[in-house]
Amino acid sequence: MTHRIESTPSRRTVVKAAAATAVVAAPSLAAAASSTAAYAVDQGPSFRHGVASGDPLPDGVLLWTRVTPTPDAVPGSGRGPDTEVRWEVAEDKGFSRVVARGSATSKAAADHTVKVDVRGLSQATDYYFRFLAGSAVSPAGRTRTAPAADSAAPGVRFGVVSCANWEAGYFSAYRRLAARSDLDAVLHLGDYIYEYATGGFPAEDKVVRQHEPKHEILTLADYRLRHGTYKTDPDLQAVHAAHPLIAIWDDHEVANDAWSGGAENHTPGAEGDWAARAAAARQAYFEWMPVRASTEGTVYRRLRFGRLADLHLLDLRSFRSQQSSFGSGDVDDPDRTITGRAQLDWLKAGLASSDASWKLVGTSVMISPVAFGSVPSYLLEPIAELLGLPKEGLALNVDQWDGYTDDRKELLAHLTERGIENTVFLTGDIHMAWANDVPVKAATYPWSSSAATEFVVTSVTSDNLDDFLGVPENTVSLIASAAVKAANRHVKWVDMDHHGYGVLDVTAERSQMDYYVLSDRTDPDATAKWTRSYRTRSGTQRVERVYHPVR
């Protein structure tokens, strides 16, 4: 299902300006992290949810903010008057060299969010931006445009994150990425918000901080308020102010284990009509996220970073068939799909026609096959809980590509038959970190070929193995990970315990993922450290360990 939303700004045209002096002094980037109160009482317009940018192009970028026009105009309330918002883009932090400016109208119909698609900028260039409403000035943000489509970009570097559950901990991973000055963008692979009632996940006794609203979100007002709550987090505001975001959704932006006609966490009747709920969730998503919708009103789209990399971003929820029942054998049914016919054809055509050195694919769920036959029985249940596996031990993960094998078979055959090299899948969802080859035939690997490679990042905060078991890190996961690798020769590494993020560094010679872990997700001042690095060299379709990070 797709859903188109009303365009937020009344004016999207870039107005070129000569270098001009800003009307007020610009706040520093650190100001983006200064608002910790969800909804402080102000009398005039204010910018309580920070600023953001996203989907960088060689000549432009999408800018975002949310205006609170009056104290009662909280997210989802429908209150507050239309408010004119001015925006500026400059070459310097002090806004003495403004290169573009314009205005838009913040309206209750779009929850007072503002999105401006600025064009006419220079390629591969840092810019600073801000918004103004009345006497209020937003925090200043930094963004960066992409290299020219036909340029020989020497490198591109992304922060990579997934699965940030407000109630499970603090967003220290975002703060650490915000502090870096070497990123072209941050790639968010889904589960930016969670839909559960407070205490639904994690359990009530493990809740670190309560979200709003406290009930499970079902309506447009609910989804708006949940997005608004997340965007009061100072670390989330900081990463948005520091780097452009490139995001796709997974299931929790709507409901757990979503598919085109429903979700595991949706009860028809008791929780309303699924189509209405999904439409509300997606409308709120496009209002609150610096993301361009595709022509079908979903998140699958393509961005280019010179001749170095094409980034193909997938939507694996809107078009998929319902997850198979465990053990039914339906996973091989060619009539079942995870991508939908149109999206799979779009992806295949884009991969085949790409002249980029690297074909990066942002996929919210893991494409590598995984069997669990050799995992000890006492570990199978918590791993099954994480991966959506049947606890009886069947070797299927029906919510991921393992549950839709015909689509995977068609895509991997396309890569091998067309001789498409250097395809790297970038994945989130399962609250673990992995480095995998993507085998054409897993049963005969490594003696058979690999069609691609895959880097999976762990969760920012959402529960993983040690959290489910309530045990210290590495007490049981080392046994479980060894068993997984023994049964799956294409899996080079798996970390089942830690929370953190990745940094993907791409050059013509290789794509390398550096994995970082947090000291404690429940500590707002958590530290981060590098733990592992894996790379795939150009032309190999295999991953190998590297014993030092890029930076």
Q: Is residue 338 part of a domain?
A: no
Contact (CB, 8 A) for 430 and 454: no
Distances (CA, A) of 123 to 91, 144, 187, 306: 13, 8, 19, 10
Amino acid at 379: L
What is the distance of C-alpha 539 from the center of its chain?
27
Q: What is the pLDDT of residue 11?
A: 24
For 345-377, the pLDDT digits (tens) are 999 999 999 999 999 999 999 999 987 655 555
The residue-averaged pLDDT of 141-149 equals 98
Residue 73 belongs to a domain: yes
The secondary structure of residue 395, as a DSSP letter, is S
Higher pLDDT, 424 or 480: 424
Residue 61 lies in a domain: yes
Q: What is the pLDDT of residue 229?
A: 98
51 belongs to a structural domain: yes
Average pLDDT, the chain: 89
Among 296-300, 391-395, 447-451, the least confident range: 391-395
Q: Write down the pLDDT at residue 71.
A: 95
In the prediction, which pLDDT does 75 show?
Answer: 98
CA distance linking residue 292 with residue 269, whole number of Å: 32
Confidence category of residue 46, pLDDT binned at 50, 70, 90: very high
The larger pLDDT score, comparing residue 33 to residue 367, is at 367
- Domain residue limits at 135: 15-144
Q: How many domains does the chain have?
A: 1
pLDDT at 31 over 60: no
pLDDT band, residue 242 (cuts 50/70/90): very high
The pLDDT value given to residue 478: 81
pLDDT tens for 274-307 read 999 999 999 999 999 999 988 778 999 999 999 9
SS3 377: helix
Give the tokens for residue 131. Answer: 């918004």
Spatial distance between the Cα atoms of 403 and 409, rounded to a whole number of angstroms: 12
**Residue 93 belongs to a domain:** yes
β-bridge partners, 375:
none
- Backbone torsions φ then ψ of 47, nearest 5 degrees: -115, 85
Alpha carbon distance 431, 459 (integer Å) = 4
- Note whether 177 and 203 are within 8 A (CB): no
- Per-residue confidence at 387, pLDDT binned at 50, 70, 90? low
What is the share, in percent, of the chain residues with pLDDT greater than 70? 87
Kindly give, in sequence order, each residue whose CB lies less than 8 Å from that of residue 369, ignoring residues fewer than 6 positions away. 401, 402, 408, 439, 442, 488, 490
Do residues 488 and 481 make contact, with C-beta atoms less than 8 angstroms apart? no
Confidence (pLDDT) at 373: 58
Q: Is the dihedral of CA 495, 501, 504, 505 positive or negative?
A: negative
pLDDT tens, residue by residue, 399-446: 999 999 999 999 999 999 999 999 999 999 999 999 999 999 988 899
Reduced to 3 states, what is the DSSP secondary structure of residue 500?
A: strand
Q: 194-219 pLDDT, tens per residue? A: 999 999 999 999 999 999 999 999 99
Cα–Cα distance for residue pair 195/202, rounded to 1 Å: 12
- Could you identify the residue written with the tokens 């094409």? 310
Q: What would the mean pLDDT of 25-47 be, rounded to a whole number?
A: 49
CA atoms in the 13 A half-sphere facing the CB of 476: 18
Which residue matches tokens 């925090």? 139
Decide if pLDDT at 378 tops 80: no
pLDDT at 328: 59
Does the pLDDT at position 10 exceed 60?
no
**Does residue 9 surpass a pLDDT of 80?**
no
Does residue 502 or residue 33 have the better pLDDT?
A: 502
Backbone angles phi and psi of 46, in degrees to 5: -150, 165
Q: Which of 233, 189, 238 is nearest to 211 (CA)?
A: 233
Question: Looking at 236-240, 295-299, 434-438, 466-470, which range is the least confident one?
Answer: 466-470
Q: What is the CATH number of the domain that holds 111?
A: 2.60.40.380
Q: Where are the alpha helices (DSSP H) in 243-354?
A: 274-288, 341-353
pLDDT of residue 83: 97
Does residue 56 belong to any structural domain of this protein?
yes
Cα distance between residue 358 and residue 511, in whole Å: 8
pLDDT at 15: 26
Q: How far apart are CA 281 and CA 276, in angstroms?
A: 9
Q: Is residue 388 over pLDDT 70? A: no
State residue 96's pLDDT score: 98
Which phi-psi region, left, alpha or beta, contains residue 109 (left: φ > 0; alpha: ψ -120 to 50)?
Answer: alpha
The pLDDT, as a whole number, for residue 395 is 43
pTM over cut 0.75: yes
Q: Does the residue 339 lie in any domain? A: no
pLDDT in tens, 158-184: 999 999 999 999 999 999 999 999 999
Q: How confident is the model at residue 477 (pLDDT cuts 50, 70, 90)?
A: confident
Look at residue 397 in the predicted model and tell me its pLDDT. 77
pLDDT given for residue 383 in this prediction: 65
* Mean pLDDT calculated for residue range 216-240: 98
Contacts of 221 (CB under 8 A, 6+ apart): 76, 77, 78
Cβ-contact 254, 263 below 8 angstroms: yes
Q: Is residue 19 part of a domain?
A: yes
Is pLDDT at 331 greater than 80 in this prediction?
Answer: yes
Per-residue model confidence as pLDDT tens digits over 53-102: 999 999 999 999 999 999 999 999 999 999 999 999 999 999 999 999 99
Cα 198 from Cα 180, distance rounded (Å): 33
The pLDDT, as a whole number, for residue 413 is 97
For residue 158, the cross-strand partners are: 185, 504
Rounded mean pLDDT, 210-237 = 98
